[in-house]
Structure formats: C-alpha cells, structure tokens
Amino acid sequence: MKIARIETFRVPPRWLFVRVETDDGIVGWGEPVLEGRARTVEAAVAEMSDVLIGADPLRIEHLWQTLTRGGFYRDGAVLSSAIAGIDQALWDIAGKDAGRPVHTLLGGHVRDRVRLYGWVYGGSPAELADAASAQRATGMTAVKMNGSEALGPIDTPATLDLLVERVAAVREAMGRDGDVAIDFHGRYSLPMARRSLSLLEPFAPMFIEEPVVPELTWRLRDVVEATSIPIAVGERLYSRGDMRTALDAGVAVLQPDLSHAGGISEVRRIASAAETYGAYLAPHCPLGPIALAACLQIDFAIPNFLIQEQSLGLNYAEGSSYLDYLVDRSGFDVVDGSVERPAAPGLGIEVDEDEVRRAAKIGHDWQSPRWHHPDGSLAEW
C-alpha cells in the first residue's frame, strides 16, 4: 500500500482539512490547521507531500520522524500543525486498514466515556450565568469561560472586582457539583495573574488556563506557587520539549492541541511525559470534527486524561457547526456531559466529502482579532 494522493480543503468557518488517499482506495482525513494561518499551513502540507507520495502510510512513526527531523529547521507552530494533520490522516488509514478504531492500536481503551466541557460567553455576570444554566440544562457538567477582555499590565481594582463577579455568577449557576474552568488566554501579565488567582480560590475553579503568554513559560512556577488552583497550559506549545518547562514548573494540566502539537503520535508521547509528573491532559480543540475525533482517540487511550474541549457554542462559529461536515453525527452525541467510545474504524467518523468539496469552494481567510489598549499599543487577544 502506498500514498497516492494528498489534497487540502480550507472550509468555513476557519478550518483546514487534509485528505490522504492510498493506491488501494483507503482514505484518511486530518485537520492540519493553525487558526489565522490556514494558507501558510496549507503550503507546508503541499511541500511535505513530496516526501509522502509513494510512501507506505502504515510507517507512521518513520514518516513522522522524517517530516519532523528531515529538514534542518524544525518545530514551530506552522510545521508542527502541518505534520499534525498528516499524522491524524495516517492513523485514520491505519485504523481503517485494520478495521479497528485508532484507540485500539494505541493499546486499547482505558475508559468507556469521555467528559466534555462547553463554552459560556457574556459581558455581564447575569449573561454568563444564563449561558452556564443553558449548558447545565443540556447535561453539561463543566463549562469554560474567559476571565476578561483586554487587560492593562497592572489593571484597576474595578477590573478585578468584575472578574470575581463573573466567576461567582457562573459558579452559582453550575452549582458545587459542576466544574468551572477559566481561560486567562495569555491576557494577564505575571503580576496581574498572581493578584487575580487568590481572589478566585473561593470558587474552586477546575483550572486556570494560560495565565501568562507562552514566552513566560519559564516563569510559571511563580504562578503555580501563588495559588492552590490547578494551572493549565499547552495550546501554544508544540512538542515534548516545549512541555518540559511547564511540567518542571509544576502545572497540573497540559493542553496540547492535536492539530498543532504533532498529531496523535506526539500527543501520545506528551501524555506519557505528563504522567511521570502526575499531570493530566485536557486537549485543546476549538476546531472541527476531524480534530475532535483525533482527540477522542487519544482521550480513550491515555490513563491521565481529565476533560475534552469542543467547539460547539464557540463565538467564532455562529451559524456553523463541525457536525456540518459529517455523514453520521451520532458519534458526537453528548449524554450527561460525556460521549461514548467510538467503535467505527480509524478516527471513528465518516467525513461528508461532497460537503467538504462544496465548502472549500467558499473557503475562508479567518484572521485572529487584533486588540489595542486605549493608548494605541497592542493588547493580547
């Protein structure tokens, strides 16, 4: 069996899919997107195709090593995302060739269901509480919220008061038997993060995500030691090496993105590394159906899984859903906040290829928002 054809599809709202076909007709799908840089990753996949066409798709590790180490320049968001989507597609092919879900090829399932969390949005505490109540009514047992909009380096007491009010409202809506995660999104300076965390401890967040920008990963120990709240990072870290500094700092949760951090192959290794530190995985996935399907295969196979992100309800995707690109949507049915283990071969989904090709004619050129402070300087989004 050889790889015969590789195609990419930029589809709304902001995703990139890759289709890898073998000479005997097996098709594997991956999602090699980097939000705001889809065209760049698409070009990287095209360059990598020269290595892949004619290769044995079942030599996943050899191809991963070749794509990762075969060039003089390595790693980084773009290259790691391109490799991630290709890796997903190769595992999809391997599972379909074997007639088994990918998680069985990774050692078999260690759980029967995977817990998800939903997103909540709102400017005021009341709006956030209503959104959390709506998620609770659907059966979600955990939600995540943004901590704030743009922040100054050391912002005002009023800003901190609003943060506390917002979190308090969501905690009340979720109850003490539900979970609330708070995404700082790298918007907080180190002093603002440390000042905020002690104020949030009474609400027992599940975790605080990305309290500082990834460039300050080496300062994470200062954050970890300032609070009892579990600290989570990793969506902008792309390899085991990147994660090592965070693990050494004592973070409780890693959040590698299977479309950015080298795919199933590398995230499986990241999970093993985290396990040696007593840390857990909550894979980052504000993306499409293929990325989520890849995440679920990992989630069912690793012992140190915590909870899974998914993009239903995310504010960038209004009017669209990752379910739009699937033939059978039942594999993502959420019951009591969890999804059941997929039994179909490969990544466990059937992509609606006709719909993908139709949507790719529309395409997208989604860009990350750019925020500015009142003085005109750039703010972290």
Tokens read off for 117: 């969390």
Of 207, 170, 213, give the one whose Cα is nearest residue 309.
Answer: 207
* pLDDT tens digits, one per residue of 268-277: 999 999 999 9
185 is catalytic: yes
Tokens read off for 361: 């004619």
* pLDDT tens digits, one per residue of 297-345: 999 999 999 999 998 766 555 656 767 899 988 878 889 999 999 999 9
The whole-angstrom separation of Cα 308 and Cα 240 is 20
pLDDT at 322: 67
Parse the chain into domains and list their residue ranges: 3-103, 104-346
Indicate if the pLDDT at residue 113 is higher than 60: yes
* pLDDT tens digits, one per residue of 141-183: 999 999 998 899 999 999 999 999 999 999 999 999 999 999 9
The whole-angstrom separation of Cα 304 and Cα 321 is 29
* pLDDT tens digits, one per residue of 236-252: 999 999 999 999 999 99
Q: Diameter of the chain by CA atoms? A: 64
Give the N- to C-terminal CA distance of the chain in Å, as an integer: 45
At 102, give phi and psi (nearest 5°). Answer: -60, -40
Cβ(91)–Cβ(263) below 8 Å = yes
- Cα distances (angstroms) measured from residue 64 to each of 159, 347, 356: 46, 18, 26
For the domain spanning 104-346, the CATH number is: 3.20.20.120
Do 3-103 and 104-346 show the same overall fold? no
Mean pLDDT of the chain: 95
> 109, 284, 364, 372: which one is catalytic?
284
pLDDT at 75: 85
Instruction: Give me the architecture of the 3-103 domain, per CATH.
Output: 2-Layer Sandwich (3.30)
260 is catalytic: no
> 103, 109, 185, 372: which one is catalytic?
185
